[in-house]
Amino acid sequence: MTARKNVVFLFFLFLYQFNILNAEDPCIYNLNTKGIIDLTSVGRTDGTPMWKDVTPSTSDGHVYSYNPCHSFTQGECKDVAVCQAFATDEKLTYSLGTQNSIKWKTTAGDDTPTLVYTSGERTSEVKLRCLTSKEPDKLEVQGYDALKALYTMTLSSKCVCWDGYGHHPKSNDGPSAGTIFIIILLVLIFVYLIAFMSYNKFKLQATGIEILPHRTFWTSLPRYSSAGILFVFHKVTNKKGDYNAIP
């Protein structure tokens, strides 16, 4: 590939990696202004749910199973976070959400976030309630909310309190993977600029703005990016559009 295509590839690779590093974690939620909620120790790690076949407060002919943080399998529910089964035949099961679909939803006025899981057209919400006493962890299932078209539950635990049982912060914790990645990226950008500016100035005898590396490409990058986005959009929507390859 040409130098320009290499730079475009690295640019989109950076965006992809940045998205991965900031993906939502099914176990840990970090809110700088309040602390950390760590569900790692709440769920089972043996592939079975911490709460199995729980009857909802208002019976709807189903029972529900849930395991925070770690996936489990129950009948046809494969690698899920939430599973629904018929009360009369627990072999008939349906996934109500997977761990990798989790969203930590915050609402104004609520002290703790709500966990949102999805699987196909089904959505489950698990409200978190902080236990300050010595009560054991518990799951209360409200069942299906027809008005909101979602399944609701409430998880009560000391681990859902800010900086609760599951998380023990250390003063000497090292930098996160995202921080390390950003530092490496900045160092590479710095080396790139110094190396090419030195080459342009002393080898090519360039002066002024001409010493900037690949100046023409960088000034054209917004146009390349918009053209690439339009190309992908047309492919996804099956609409025809002109796309000029990067020279």
Please, are residues 113 and 105 in contact by the beta-carbon 8 Å criterion? yes
pLDDT on residue 241: 57
Please say if the pLDDT value at position 105 is more than 70: yes
Average model confidence (pLDDT) for the chain? 83
Please, are residues 83 and 65 in contact by the beta-carbon 8 Å criterion? yes
Tokens 């043996």 appear where?
46
Tokens 């950008």 appear where?
189
Q: pLDDT grade, residue 243 (50/70/90)?
A: low
Mean pLDDT, range 58-78, rounded to an integer: 95
CA distance 52 to 102: 20
| Fold (CATH) for 25-160 | Cation-dependent Mannose-6-phosphate Receptor; Chain A (2.70.130)
CA distance 227 to 229: 5
- CATH 2.70.130.10 residue ranges for the chain: 25-160
CA distance 78 to 73: 5
Q: Tell me how far CA of residue 141 lies from CA of 5, 196, 218, in angstroms.
A: 53, 62, 55
Lowest-confidence range among 39-48, 56-65, 137-146, 162-171? 162-171
CA distance 82 to 77: 8
DSSP 38-66: E-TTTS-SSSS-SEEEEPPSS--SEEEEE
Please say if the pLDDT value at position 124 is more than 80: yes
Per the model's pLDDT, the better-predicted residue between 202 and 8 turns out to be 202
pLDDT on residue 30: 87
Burial class (CB in 10 A: 0-12, 13-18, 19+), 40: middle
Lowest-confidence range among 8-22, 28-42, 99-113? 8-22
CA distance 19 to 67: 26
Cα 80–Cα 46–Cα 69 angle in degrees, nearest 5: 50
User: Could you tell me the two tokens for 245?
Assistant: 């390859």
Mean pLDDT, range 180-192, rounded to an integer: 90
CA distance 130 to 143: 21
Lowest-confidence range among 42-56, 78-92, 164-178, 206-220? 164-178
